[in-house]
Amino acid sequence: MKNQEELKKLVDGCVKNNRRAQEELFKLFYGKMLGVCLRYMSDRDTAQEVLQQGFIKVFEKIGVFDFKGSLEGWIRRIVTNTAIDAIRKSKRNPYLSDDDQFFKDEVVNEFEQKEEMNILNLRAEAAMNAIQELSPGYRAVFNLYVIEDYSHKEIADKLGISEGTSKSNLAKAKMNLQKILKRKYTTKF
Protein backbone atom coordinates (compact mmCIF):
# COMPACT_ATOMS: atom_id res chain seq x y z
CA MET A 1 0.00 0.00 0.00
CA LYS A 2 1.18 3.50 -0.75
CA ASN A 3 2.00 6.07 1.90
CA GLN A 4 -0.01 9.28 2.32
CA GLU A 5 2.41 11.35 0.22
CA GLU A 6 2.26 8.88 -2.69
CA LEU A 7 -1.54 8.77 -2.48
CA LYS A 8 -1.71 12.58 -2.61
CA LYS A 9 0.43 12.60 -5.78
CA LEU A 10 -1.77 9.90 -7.28
CA VAL A 11 -4.96 11.82 -6.44
CA ASP A 12 -3.46 15.04 -7.86
CA GLY A 13 -2.71 13.17 -11.09
CA CYS A 14 -6.29 11.88 -11.22
CA VAL A 15 -7.64 15.41 -10.66
CA LYS A 16 -5.61 16.47 -13.71
CA ASN A 17 -7.13 13.57 -15.71
CA ASN A 18 -3.75 11.88 -16.03
CA ARG A 19 -4.61 8.44 -17.46
CA ARG A 20 -1.59 6.76 -15.89
CA ALA A 21 -2.54 8.04 -12.43
CA GLN A 22 -6.13 6.90 -12.97
CA GLU A 23 -4.94 3.47 -14.08
CA GLU A 24 -2.64 3.19 -11.08
CA LEU A 25 -5.43 4.17 -8.65
CA PHE A 26 -7.77 1.69 -10.33
CA LYS A 27 -5.20 -1.12 -10.06
CA LEU A 28 -4.43 -0.22 -6.44
CA PHE A 29 -8.04 -0.62 -5.30
CA TYR A 30 -9.44 -3.01 -7.94
CA GLY A 31 -9.30 -6.20 -5.86
CA LYS A 32 -10.84 -4.77 -2.70
CA MET A 33 -13.56 -2.90 -4.55
CA LEU A 34 -14.41 -5.90 -6.72
CA GLY A 35 -14.93 -7.76 -3.46
CA VAL A 36 -17.37 -5.04 -2.38
CA CYS A 37 -19.27 -5.32 -5.67
CA LEU A 38 -19.38 -9.13 -5.49
CA ARG A 39 -21.14 -8.88 -2.13
CA TYR A 40 -23.99 -6.98 -3.78
CA MET A 41 -24.20 -8.41 -7.28
CA SER A 42 -25.16 -11.96 -8.19
CA ASP A 43 -22.43 -12.58 -10.77
CA ARG A 44 -18.89 -11.49 -11.52
CA ASP A 45 -19.67 -9.79 -14.86
CA THR A 46 -22.29 -7.54 -13.30
CA ALA A 47 -19.96 -6.83 -10.36
CA GLN A 48 -17.22 -5.76 -12.78
CA GLU A 49 -19.66 -3.48 -14.63
CA VAL A 50 -20.70 -1.88 -11.35
CA LEU A 51 -17.04 -1.50 -10.39
CA GLN A 52 -16.33 0.29 -13.68
CA GLN A 53 -19.28 2.64 -13.07
CA GLY A 54 -18.08 3.22 -9.53
CA PHE A 55 -14.59 4.18 -10.66
CA ILE A 56 -16.02 6.55 -13.26
CA LYS A 57 -17.78 8.31 -10.37
CA VAL A 58 -14.58 8.23 -8.31
CA PHE A 59 -12.66 9.95 -11.12
CA GLU A 60 -15.45 12.49 -11.61
CA LYS A 61 -15.51 13.38 -7.90
CA ILE A 62 -11.87 12.89 -6.91
CA GLY A 63 -11.31 16.65 -6.79
CA VAL A 64 -13.49 16.91 -3.68
CA PHE A 65 -11.55 14.29 -1.71
CA ASP A 66 -9.77 16.20 1.07
CA PHE A 67 -7.71 13.48 2.80
CA LYS A 68 -9.58 14.02 6.07
CA GLY A 69 -10.56 10.34 5.94
CA SER A 70 -9.08 7.34 4.21
CA LEU A 71 -9.02 7.28 0.42
CA GLU A 72 -9.97 3.60 0.47
CA GLY A 73 -13.01 4.33 2.66
CA TRP A 74 -14.07 7.17 0.37
CA ILE A 75 -13.78 4.96 -2.71
CA ARG A 76 -15.57 2.10 -0.92
CA ARG A 77 -18.52 4.39 -0.12
CA ILE A 78 -18.84 5.44 -3.76
CA VAL A 79 -18.59 1.85 -5.02
CA THR A 80 -21.15 0.66 -2.44
CA ASN A 81 -23.57 3.41 -3.44
CA THR A 82 -23.05 2.54 -7.11
CA ALA A 83 -23.89 -1.11 -6.37
CA ILE A 84 -27.05 -0.08 -4.52
CA ASP A 85 -28.04 2.18 -7.41
CA ALA A 86 -27.57 -0.75 -9.80
CA ILE A 87 -29.86 -2.90 -7.67
CA ARG A 88 -32.48 -0.14 -7.61
CA LYS A 89 -32.35 0.17 -11.40
CA SER A 90 -32.61 -3.57 -11.99
CA LYS A 91 -35.76 -4.06 -9.97
CA ARG A 92 -38.63 -1.73 -9.27
CA ASN A 93 -38.53 -2.39 -5.52
CA PRO A 94 -36.44 -5.45 -4.70
CA TYR A 95 -36.39 -4.63 -0.98
CA LEU A 96 -39.99 -5.67 -0.36
CA SER A 97 -41.25 -9.22 -0.55
CA ASP A 98 -44.81 -10.50 -0.64
CA ASP A 99 -44.70 -11.78 2.92
CA ASP A 100 -43.31 -8.58 4.51
CA GLN A 101 -46.74 -7.51 5.69
CA PHE A 102 -47.00 -10.64 7.85
CA PHE A 103 -43.53 -10.44 9.36
CA LYS A 104 -43.81 -8.46 12.62
CA ASP A 105 -40.99 -6.55 14.28
CA GLU A 106 -41.45 -8.64 17.43
CA VAL A 107 -40.73 -11.81 15.47
CA VAL A 108 -37.65 -10.17 13.94
CA ASN A 109 -36.34 -9.06 17.33
CA GLU A 110 -36.92 -12.52 18.81
CA PHE A 111 -35.21 -14.15 15.83
CA GLU A 112 -32.23 -11.77 16.04
CA GLN A 113 -31.74 -12.66 19.69
CA LYS A 114 -32.02 -16.44 19.19
CA GLU A 115 -30.29 -16.89 15.83
CA GLU A 116 -26.66 -15.80 15.63
CA MET A 117 -24.78 -16.87 12.51
CA ASN A 118 -21.08 -17.10 12.95
CA ILE A 119 -20.13 -16.02 9.41
CA LEU A 120 -16.59 -15.28 10.51
CA ASN A 121 -15.87 -19.00 10.96
CA LEU A 122 -16.85 -19.78 7.38
CA ARG A 123 -14.33 -19.73 4.63
CA ALA A 124 -14.62 -16.42 2.82
CA GLU A 125 -15.37 -18.03 -0.53
CA ALA A 126 -18.20 -20.16 0.84
CA ALA A 127 -19.76 -17.18 2.54
CA MET A 128 -19.48 -15.01 -0.58
CA ASN A 129 -21.10 -17.69 -2.74
CA ALA A 130 -23.96 -18.08 -0.29
CA ILE A 131 -24.49 -14.31 -0.03
CA GLN A 132 -24.63 -14.05 -3.81
CA GLU A 133 -27.55 -16.50 -3.86
CA LEU A 134 -29.70 -14.14 -1.78
CA SER A 135 -32.27 -11.97 -3.53
CA PRO A 136 -31.01 -8.45 -4.34
CA GLY A 137 -33.00 -6.87 -1.52
CA TYR A 138 -31.89 -9.33 1.13
CA ARG A 139 -28.30 -9.21 -0.14
CA ALA A 140 -28.22 -5.39 -0.03
CA VAL A 141 -29.58 -5.17 3.52
CA PHE A 142 -27.34 -8.00 4.73
CA ASN A 143 -24.21 -6.40 3.27
CA LEU A 144 -25.03 -2.92 4.52
CA TYR A 145 -25.80 -4.14 8.04
CA VAL A 146 -23.29 -6.95 8.55
CA ILE A 147 -20.37 -5.96 6.33
CA GLU A 148 -20.63 -2.17 5.99
CA ASP A 149 -21.88 -1.67 9.60
CA TYR A 150 -24.86 0.55 8.76
CA SER A 151 -27.71 0.90 11.25
CA HIS A 152 -31.24 -0.13 10.27
CA LYS A 153 -32.18 3.57 10.16
CA GLU A 154 -29.30 4.33 7.78
CA ILE A 155 -30.24 1.36 5.59
CA ALA A 156 -33.88 2.45 5.54
CA ASP A 157 -32.90 5.99 4.49
CA LYS A 158 -30.43 4.76 1.86
CA LEU A 159 -32.79 2.21 0.29
CA GLY A 160 -36.06 4.11 0.72
CA ILE A 161 -37.64 1.45 2.94
CA SER A 162 -38.86 1.38 6.54
CA GLU A 163 -36.64 0.33 9.44
CA GLY A 164 -39.02 -2.60 9.99
CA THR A 165 -38.49 -3.77 6.42
CA SER A 166 -34.73 -3.48 6.90
CA LYS A 167 -34.91 -5.61 10.07
CA SER A 168 -37.21 -8.08 8.38
CA ASN A 169 -34.98 -8.41 5.32
CA LEU A 170 -31.92 -8.92 7.53
CA ALA A 171 -33.63 -11.68 9.50
CA LYS A 172 -34.84 -13.35 6.29
CA ALA A 173 -31.39 -13.02 4.72
CA LYS A 174 -29.88 -14.76 7.75
CA MET A 175 -32.47 -17.54 7.58
CA ASN A 176 -31.91 -17.98 3.85
CA LEU A 177 -28.12 -17.99 4.28
CA GLN A 178 -28.44 -20.66 6.92
CA LYS A 179 -30.56 -22.79 4.57
CA ILE A 180 -28.16 -22.26 1.66
CA LEU A 181 -25.12 -23.14 3.74
CA LYS A 182 -26.73 -26.21 5.29
CA ARG A 183 -27.80 -27.40 1.85
CA LYS A 184 -24.36 -26.89 0.30
CA TYR A 185 -22.00 -27.87 3.07
CA THR A 186 -21.95 -30.78 5.41
CA THR A 187 -20.32 -28.99 8.36
CA LYS A 188 -22.53 -27.50 11.06
CA PHE A 189 -22.99 -23.78 11.26
pLDDT at residue 98 in the model: 42
The identity of residue 79, as a single letter, is V
Query: How high is the mean pLDDT of the chain?
Result: 80
Residue 104 sits in the same domain as residue 177: yes
Distance CA 136, CA 142 (A): 10
85/130 same-domain check: no
pLDDT score of 92: 52
The CATH number linked to 108 is 1.10.10.10
pLDDT tier at 95, thresholds 50, 70, 90: low
189 within a domain of the structure (yes/no):
no
Say if residue 82's pLDDT is above 90: yes
Average pLDDT on 97-113 reads: 43
Residue 102 has pLDDT above 50, yes or no: no
What's the pLDDT score for residue 107?
Answer: 42
Question: What total of structural domains would you count in the chain?
Answer: 2
Q: Which residues contact 189 (CB under 8 A, 6 or more apart)?
A: 117, 118, 121, 122, 178, 181, 182
Any idea what the CATH number is for the domain that residue 40 is in? 1.10.1740.10
Residue 12 lies in a domain: yes
- Same domain? 12 vs 82: yes
Q: Residue 54 domain-assigned?
A: yes
| pTM > 0.85: yes or no | no
How many of the other CB atoms lie within 10 Å of CB of 39?
22
The candidate with the shortest Cα–Cα distance to 172, out of 112, 122, 130, 125, is 112
Is residue 135 domain-shared with residue 75, that is, in the same domain?
no
**pLDDT of 48 above 50:** yes
Of 60, 90, 120, which residue constitutes the final position of a domain?
90
pLDDT of residue 24: 94
17 against 114, higher pLDDT: 17
Q: Please tell me whether residues 21 and 81 are part of one structural domain.
A: yes
Any idea how long the chain is? 189
**Shared-domain flag, residues 153 and 86:** no
Task: Please give the pLDDT value at position 149.
Answer: 85
Per-range mean pLDDT, top range of 4-8, 58-62, 93-97: 58-62
Instruction: Count other Cβ atoms within 10 Å, centred on residue 162.
Output: 16
95 found inside a domain: no
Task: Identify whether 44 is part of a domain.
Answer: yes
Q: What is the mean pLDDT of residues 121-147?
A: 79
Cβ(36)–Cβ(80) under 8 Å?
Answer: yes
> 34 pLDDT exceeds 70?
yes
- Domain of 70, in residue numbers: 4-90
Q: For residue 60, what are the CA distances in angstroms to 57, 63, 92?
A: 5, 8, 27
CA proximity to 136, closest of 154, 161, 112, 157: 161
Q: How far apart are CA 33 and CA 38, in angstroms?
A: 9
* 52 to 35, 76, 86, 149, 151: CA distances (angstroms): 13, 13, 12, 24, 27
Task: State whether 81 and 118 are in the same domain.
Answer: no
pLDDT in tens, 162-189: 999 999 999 999 898 888 878 876 554 4
Amino acid at 167: K
